[in-house]
Chain A
Amino acid sequence: MTALLEVEDLRVAYGKIEAVKGISFTVDAGEVVTLIGTNGAGKTTTLRTLSGLLKPVGGQIRFRGKSLKKTPAHQIVSLGLAHSPEGRHIFPRMTIEDNLRLGAFLRSDRPGIEKDIQRAYDLFPILGERRKQAAGTLSGGEQQMLAMGRALMSQPKLLMLDEPSMGLSPIMMQKIMATIAELKSQGTTILLVEQNAQAALSLADQGHVMETGNIVLSGSGQTLLHDESVRKAYLGED
């Protein structure tokens, strides 16, 4: 069986500056795969390219066996690849419910949408309590929940989360990570980009360490978590 997502020698550049210099990895259905690395390693660029917001200069992306290189962003979503962008990007002046509905923009099955909105409220009860409130009035962590709930509304085959723990308090971060674990146990395939290597690796089946546009180390989450160089570089241990 081929992998759900195959990335082969992917190269992305901003003008002349190459941000991603030929990386390859795969994501299998039901897996949680994480990309970790410091600022500027090319993690977010990789995700933005996968979701069609940026165009690669070389390499190959295949999602469910289909090449994504020339597919525009809105069609990639309809193929089942959802992106919860870095910095949340919720619609602050729309209500929480309208935000979720926009996540289901490409769907037309009303009962299914209503069911999934309810599912998002079950997953994040705080969103249900405030469904008629403007999303901008939520706290940072709640906005992250909304961004994740919204990405799930398109019924993705693969959910890409870009730094869901960014700027959150430790307690809120634990909550978000617990939700990711719950989604994993429900069988959702997730590609997780994180700076918080500890939390990401302990969840992940597979991990890749990125440095200045290259993958420098790959392995299972547990292996990397105990890897000497990773511990030194990312987990703050000498």
Chain B
Amino acid sequence: MTTAQERSDLLNKIGLDAQNKAALGAVLGTGRIGQATERADGRMTATIRIQPDEIAWDPSILVMPHGGDLELELLNDDLNTHCALLPSNGDRKFIWLVNHSRGRATLNLDGPGYYWFSSPTGNDEGRGLTGAIVVLGDVPPEARLDRPDQPRP
């Protein structure tokens, strides 16, 4: 048995976080974690990259401090073509990312909760190009229940 503290070492040792080592692809949720930067006006920015031959988003989990607009830079440093389908209110955003390309996406997410994004071509999604955007925070005060604070897990 392992413990939480050993998680990253064990992922690497077993090969769960890389291509064609333990499984055929990288197991989802095993990549790096990044945090979006908040600008003075409340809009958020972040960069997500596809590293050569990793077939995974870097970071694979992006954390937004609150709901709102996110300006995303997408870099494909891989030697193959991928794409991105990203969650956003109104419609999902799509962009084609040929080898060594840079694109942009503006997303609106109202959170809290988390949302998957992916490269919907071939089985990029299963090999590792499925990532998550996590939105922190709470719903507006007017939407909350009129009751005493309740215990949480």
A and B found bound together: no
